[in-house]
Amino acid sequence: MALIAVKKLWKEYGNNVVIEQVNITVEQGEFITIVGTSGCGKTTFLRMLLGIEQPTRGELLLNGKPFPEEPGEDRGIVFQRYSVFPHLTVLKNTMLADELGQSRIIGKLFGDKNKQAADKAKELLESVGLTHALNLYPHELSGGMQQRLAIAQALMKNPRILLLDEPFGALDPGIRADMHELILELWKKTGLTIFMITHDLYESFYLGTRLWVFDKLRLDPDNTNAYGANITYDIPVGKADRTTYEDIDQSLEKSRKVLVK
C-alpha cells in the first residue's frame, strides 16, 4: 500500500479554488521536491499533509486512513523561519522532543533520562554540524545554522515524513549548497519520506527522487482564482533532461506573468 494516497483532492476557500482534482500516490522513502508559482497551492498542499488544513473534497490518505486533522509526531516540519524556540539553547531545542515525549506533565527530564536525551541530541547535532554551538541561543546563530538546528530538532522524533517549506529560501547560495548535501545525507541515512517546497527549479532537479510542479492548467487572466492548480509535471528527477527543465521553466513563467502582477 502506498504511504500517501491522494484521490480527487480539491481545496477551495469560498469561490477561490486553490487545488483541483489532484490524484497521486507516494511511497515510503521518496524525496519529493515541489515547485510552482506563488498561489498555486503548493503550500496549501503541504499544510494539508501537516494537518493544519483539510481538503474540501476528495481523499487524502496516510496508510489508507484519512490524514489526522492536526499536526502530529509522525510528520516533522521545517519552516523557512521561526522553526526553533528562541528561549532555548541549541541543545535544549533539540532535547525538547524527548522531554515532551517522556515527561507529560512538566515537560522536563532529570537525572539519567535527561542525560540520555542530551546524548541523543548531541549525536544528532553532530550530524548537522552544530557541536560547537550547543549552548548558544538561536539569535546567536546564522540563518543556515538555525535551519540545521530546525532539522535536527525535527529528526529527534524520528518522523516518517519530513515536510520542508522553503527551508533554504532565506539562505545564501554557498550555504544552501551545504544544506543540500546535509539533507541528502540525512535522507539516505534515515529512509525518511521528504516533501520539500522550493522556489529554486535548479534545487528541485538536483535534490530528491521525484519532482512535482504545481501549476494552473486553465488560467482566466481576469479571475485567476476561478480554476485551481494541479500537479502538471510528476517526473523522476534522474530522468529529467535539459528539455524538460526548459519546458517547466517556460510553463511556470507563463503562469507567473498572469498570477504575479
Partner 1 sequence: MKRLMNLNPDVYARAILGALPFILIIVLYIISSQARLAENPRDKLLPSFNSMASTINTMAVHPSKRTGEYTFWNDTSSSLKRLGMGIGVAAIIGLIFGILNGIIPLARANLSPIITIISLIPPLAVLPVLFIVFGLGELSKVVLIAIGITPFIIRDLQAKVLELPKEQLIKAQTLGASTWLVIVRVVLPQILPRLIESVRLSLGAAWLFLIAAEAIASTDGLGYRIFLVRRYLSMDVILPYVAWITLLAFMTDYFLRLISIKAFPWFHATDK
Residues at the contact surface with partner 1, assessed by CB under 8 A = 50, 52, 70-73, 75-77, 79, 81-87, 96-97, 99-101, 104-108, 137-140, 150, 153-154, 156-157, 159
Q: Output 101 or 129, the one with its CB closest to partner 1.
A: 101
Q: Output 97 or 133, the one with its CB closest to partner 1.
A: 97
Minimum separation from the CB atom of position 159 to partner 1 (A): 7
7 near 59, Cβ under 8 Å?
yes
146 near 170, Cβ under 8 Å?
no
How far CA 2 is from CA of 24, 72, 207, 229, in Å, comes to 10, 19, 22, 23
131 φ, ψ (degrees, to nearest 5): -55, -35
Minimum separation from the CB atom of position 97 to partner 1 (A): 4
Structural element, H or E, at residue 48 = helix 42-50
Q: How far is 200 from 139, CA to CA, in rounded Å? A: 26
Minimum separation from the CB atom of position 124 to partner 1 (A): 13
Minimum separation from the CB atom of position 192 to partner 1 (A): 13
Q: Output 89 or 251, the one with its CB closest to partner 1.
A: 89
Q: Output 98 or 215, the one with its CB closest to partner 1.
A: 98
**Strand-pair category, 193-197 with 161-165:** parallel
Q: How far is 177 from 174, CA to CA, in rounded Å? A: 5
Minimum separation from the CB atom of position 157 to partner 1 (A): 6
Q: Output 146 or 230, the one with its CB closest to partner 1.
A: 146
Distance of CA 4 to the CA centre of its chain: 15
Q: Output 121 or 252, the one with its CB closest to partner 1.
A: 121
Minimum separation from the CB atom of position 202 to partner 1 (A): 26
Q: How far is 162 from 26, CA to CA, in rounded Å? A: 13
